[in-house]
Structure 1
Amino acid sequence: MKAMPKIFMINAHEPEFGSYSPGKLNQSLFEIAASQFLSRGFEIKQTWTARAWDVETEVNNHLWCDYLIVQSPVNWMSFPWSFKKYIDQIYTTPGHGKLWLGTGRSRQAPEKNYGTKGGLTGKKYMFSLTFDAPLGAFTDPNEYLMQGRSVDDLFFPMHVNYRYLAMTQLPTFSMHDVIVNPNIDADFARFKDHINQHID
């Protein structure tokens, strides 16, 4: 019998901005995902990066899971600072020999194979992101800011981090225009469909 998937969920919301970004939307998505997973018999573990966490526990959570879900608002075109602090402190020295096994290079060929010794082969990850920016900012090449570049283009450096760990990328989920012109109910329904389709 197939073992039920193990899901490690990270909520990367940063509460420092107070009432401007209270975190209700990302917490709702976090809870929706957890409910969907538990209803299907999946096992879950959860971390909030802005709260206290233990380095060894977090490394072990990455080793334990089949799927990593990062739920996050987009602050100034990236993850909040507390998530960057989290990955710096978890993935660097504590993660060496576990999450990543080396750089992949050799002294004989120092320019080749950089980033090919990740330790999490077979595990998958997904970003679920909330934006003030409308979807058209990413899909219309005539739009000033992104010039037709996608959400995944914007988050390419973070995708590279998880590729360095040898994880496989699942399609990114994104909600847009969540402050000025929200469509929350439809987005929640779309989110449920997304996670049910890609996490099994």
Structure 2
Amino acid sequence: MTKSPIEQNEANDVAGLDRREFIKVGLVMTAAALSPGSAAGTAIGTANIDIKRILVINAHQKYPGISEGRLNRSLVNLIKEEMVKKGYEVQETNIEQGYNVNDEVKKHIWADIIITQSPVFWFGMPWIYKKYVDEVFTAGMLQKSFISGDGRIADDSSRQYGSGGKLQGKKYVLSLTMNSPKQAFDDKNQKLHAGLSVDDVFHSTTAVYKFCGVDVLPIFGSYDVIQSPQVNNDMERLKKYLAYL
């Protein structure tokens, strides 16, 4: 019997466990070497200045029998595999499995690209992702590593609100799975979004990164995943998207 793309992806996960554990060990060693205050970290960081790094955030929240997370997990694995092929070092955060706030701040500073993979719940992100953002970005603000104020200066009217970010040079991608069909966007005749693009609808999610100086790239959407799923096509489109990063 032919396996579905998601089942095949999960089978590949098991087959590739040893390889991923090897990568994981390498990432832990790299993170330790690059930690502040480490003399070895300074040397290694200087020697490997061209190494490309990506943080992949799995924002899925499980609702048994409704949203199990298999599709988002498969897309996360695809992202990691494709970026490893491109020579990137990869770190992953699975929000539902727990996280350390300060470690997440360090991961954001470490990464050149941050990708969040998430389902859309009621036209927004799962609440655990909002909690994650509130905690991590507040810590980054207090540590003055994400922003230095909101960008405005009293005697300089050219300095705009939202220009105080300290994460310049990084890129952010939001990859979403949703029941909305693609036709629901960019069409003024559509009842719900009335001409808004997918980037418009989820602006409040991506604006957090833009506020901190990150270059926000166009949202990647896997559309109509409940009524008319096109998993193979979504995966191929995502591969092409990642190829341009």
Contact 1:50–1:82 under 8 Å retained in 2: yes
| Structure 2: segments with no counterpart, 5+ residues | 1-47
Q: CA deviation at 1:4?
A: 3.1
Q: Which residue of 2 aligns with 1:168?
A: 215
Asked if the contact 1:6/1:65 (under 8 Å) is kept, the reply is yes
Cα separation, 2, equivalents of 1:81 and 1:2: 36
Letter in 2 for 1:50: E
Q: 1:56 aligns with which of 91, 98, 102?
A: 102
Q: Structure 1, unaligned stretches of length 5 or more? A: none
Kindly tell me the number of residue pairs found equivalent between the two proteins.
197
Residue 146 (structure 1) aligned to one of 178, 186, 193: 193
Higher relative contact order at CA 8 Å, sep ≥6: structure 1 or structure 2? 1
Q: What is the DSSP-based 3-state SS (H/G/I as helix, E as strand, rest coil) of the residue aligned with 1:166?
A: coil
What is the letter of the counterpart of residue 83 of structure 1? Y
CA contact (8 A) 2:174 2:206 kept: no
Deviation of the 1:160 alpha carbon: 1.8
Contact 1:130-1:176 at 8 Å conserved across structures: yes
Contact 1:55 1:94 in 2 (8 A): no
Other structure's SS at 1:50 match? helix
Cα 1:110–1:84 shift into 2, 3 Å: farther
From the two aligned structures, give the one with the greater helix fraction.
2
Equivalent pair of 2:148/2:165 in contact (CA under 8 Å): yes
Confirm or deny: 8 A CA contact 2:162 2:211 kept in the other structure.
Answer: yes
Alignment pair present for 1:121 and 2:130: no
CA RMSD of aligned residues (A): 1.8
Give the corresponding residue for 1:70. Answer: 116
Q: Which one of 178, 185, 199 corresponds to residue 232 of structure 2?
A: 185
Measured after TM superposition, the shift of residue 106 of structure 1 is 3.0
CA deviation map 1:98-119 (0-9, x unaligned): 0112112234469962221111
The one of 20, 25, 31 equivalent to 2:71 is: 25
TM-score after normalising by structure 2: 0.76
Normalising to structure 1: TM-score of the pair?
0.92
From 70, 78, 86, give the equivalent of 1:40: 86
1:158, 1:55 → 2: CA distance? 19
Residue in 2 that maps onto 1:5: 52
Deviations 1:114-169 (A, max 9, x none): 22111101101001011101111113321111112110010111222111100001
Q: Structure 2 CA distance, aligned partners of 1:161 and 1:13?
A: 19
- What residue is the counterpart of 1:137 in the other structure? 184
Larger Rg: 2
Tell me the amino acid that sits aligned with residue 130 of structure 2: K
**How far is 1:6 from its partner?**
0.2
